[in-house]
Amino acid sequence: MTPNEFLDKAWQESGPKLISGFSRPVYHNVMGLLRGRKYDKKAYGGMIRHTEAGMLTTWASQVPRGGVIVEIGCYGGLSTSYLLRGLKQHGGTIYSMDPFNSDLDKQAELTDNCVPLDNKPTKALVEQRLEKNGFAGMFKLIEGFSQEVAANWDPSIKIDFLWIDGNHEQAYRDFKDFEPYLNPGARVAVHDAHPRYGYQEVVRDVRKIFAEGQWEDMEHVKSIIAGRLIK
Ligand SMILES: C[S@@+](CC[C@H](N)C(=O)[O-])C[C@H]1O[C@@H](n2cnc3c(N)ncnc32)[C@H](O)[C@@H]1O
């Protein structure tokens, strides 16, 4: 099945949710129950579903020992906490970026209106949260916009898992900006990529992302589309 055929099946209006060989809804639901309920979604102002959270933890636990995860769009640190929980199994570092509550004029100009700009979580608040959750020393929060972070990226830092959940109008750009730093076999996962409960711009961009290169282990978990980039 090509990535395009996979996406057509994942997003079809009706019919079986099981996509042979690729998508595992029973497994995803079990992971959601076991691993996707640890952190208080309401308190963090988080936007991921339990199954999605469970699979973020699972994928993060599969990153090679000492590996690197990059998260675009940290917000209150909910998805960051699930990623760190998985990453902690073998050790590694997550670089998570978000403008947080800085540069609010620029955020207002560029916003896709997915989060309110009043009372946005601060970097300091999220740092405290992650430390309290037991992840001290495992994360680096970067206050800024992904384009600028990518432009200044240290090329010696290679990425094993790229999680894209920032500005929903630029998922493809985020992928292209960080693509040069992906290790072979790196997982890429994109949030809000579903025509019915995501953003049309992300749906469009996900088609473009997965039309390029060679992908393995594609998965569809609610509004996440993920795959491993072989080359
Ligand atoms: C949907 S929220 C992320 C939610 C978070 N991943 C979670 O599940 O808990 C998107 C975040 O990305 C931020 N954002 C928007 N544009 C961005 C950019 N260019 N670079 C980094 N973050 C961006 C938004 O301000 C917002 O905080």
Task: State the CATH number of the domain containing residue 24.
Answer: 3.40.50.150
The edge-to-edge listing of strands for the beta sheet with 67-72 is: 139-143, 92-98, 67-72, 159-164, 182-190, 224-229, 215-221
CA gyration radius for the chain?
16
Ligand 1 centroid–CA 156 distance in Å is 25
The whole-number pLDDT of residue 16 equals 46
Tokens 């800085």, residue located: 102
Q: Tens place of pLDDT for every residue, the chain, 231 residues?
A: 899 999 998 898 664 455 554 567 888 889 999 999 999 999 999 889 999 999 999 999 999 999 999 999 999 999 999 999 999 999 999 999 999 999 999 999 998 999 999 999 999 999 999 999 999 999 999 999 999 999 999 999 999 999 999 999 999 999 999 999 999 999 999 999 999 889 999 999 999 999 999 999 999 999 999 999 997
> What is the spatial distance between Cα 90 and Cα 80, in angstroms, rounded to a whole number?
16
Q: What total of structural domains would you count in the chain?
A: 1
Q: How far is the CA of 146 from the centre of ligand 1 (A)?
A: 9
Q: Which residue of 52, 57, 74 sits with most ligand 1 atoms within 8 Å of its CB, as the best mutation to test the pocket?
A: 74
For residue 132, the enclosing domain spans 3-229
Query: 14 CA distance to ligand 1 centroid (A)?
Result: 31
Closest CA to 70 of 53, 95, 99, 98: 95
Tokens of 20: 């042979």
Kindly report the protein residue whose alpha carbon is nearest to atom 27 of ligand 1: 75
CB atoms near residue 2 (< 10 Å): 11
pLDDT for 12: 84
Report the atom number in ligand 1 closest to the C-alpha of 145: 20
Contacts of residue 206, defined as CB under 8 A and 6 or more positions apart, other chains included, come to 7, 171, 190, 193, 225
Ligand 1, atom nearest to 120 Cα: 27
CA of 71 to the centre of ligand 1 (A): 9
CA angle (53 as vertex; 49, 56 as ends), nearest 5: 140
Residues 6+ apart with CB under 8 A from 71: 79, 80, 83, 94, 95, 96, 97, 163, 165
